[in-house]
Amino acid sequence: MKNDIEKVLISEQELQEKVAAMGAQISRDFADKDPLFVGVLKGCFIFMADLIRGVEADCRMDFMAVSSYGRGTVSSGAVEIIKDLSVSIEGKHVLIIEDILDSGVTLSYLRGFLEQRKPASIRICTLFDKPARRRADIQADYVGFLCPDAFIVGYGLDFDERYRNLPYIGVLKPEVYA
């Protein structure tokens, strides 16, 4: 697994510090709002687990699963809902939690899908933003790191379902997915 990594982009320590700072900011912004955190599976799971332990505000959590990639490194453009929410979001302050905002196709579809259910607000929190490849008109409200135009794995992010368990963020060697 480690032989497939070109370089470590973000260390465990840097991840911890950034995620703690994001949790503190979210605590301030959502104090007394009784927010619902909506994690987008599967990529969010490690980030969200760390993030919410740094959130002091009262909050609830739910998850969705969507698919847009299949086995590849470029979004196919078609988004499919694989798992929907199990609670109502009407009148609620929703914070969507994503691993990475790339073309933006997934999040712009998801935001539109959830807006139809009349939440009080929808905000977006992503650990990584890769603006170089944006195709949809969407911005995140909370961004951990800007990501270079490379394919990254680890800390929940996968290629073909692998590498999620790396404790750091690494750049995948292009020959692995070429």
The site string for ligand IMP over 57-86 (x = CB under 6 A, - otherwise) reads -----------xx-----x-----------
Which 123-152 positions form the footprint of ligand IMP (CB under 6 A)? 130, 151-152
Catalytic residue from among 4, 29, 62, 102: 102
Concatenating the DSSP letter of every residue in the chain gives -GGGEEEEEE-HHHHHHHHHHHHHHHHHHHTTS--EEEEEETTTHHHHHHHHTT--S--EEEEEEEES-SSSSS--S--EEEE--SS--TT-EEEEEEEEESSSHHHHHHHHHHHTT--SEEEEEEEEE-GGG--SS---SEEEEE--SS-EEBTTB-BTTBSTT-SSEEEEPHHHH-
Interface stretch with ligand IMP, choices 28-36, 54-62, 83-91, 99-107 (CB under 6 A):
99-107
Options 157, 166, 169, 170; binder of ligand IMP; rule CB under 6 A:
157
Interface stretch with Mg ion, choices 7-15, 40-48, 137-145, 165-173 (CB under 5 A):
40-48
Q: Determine, following the binding rule CB under 6 A, whether residue 163 of this chain makes contact with ligand IMP.
A: no
Tell me which residues touch ligand IMP (CB under 6 A).
43, 68-69, 75, 98-107, 130, 151-153, 157
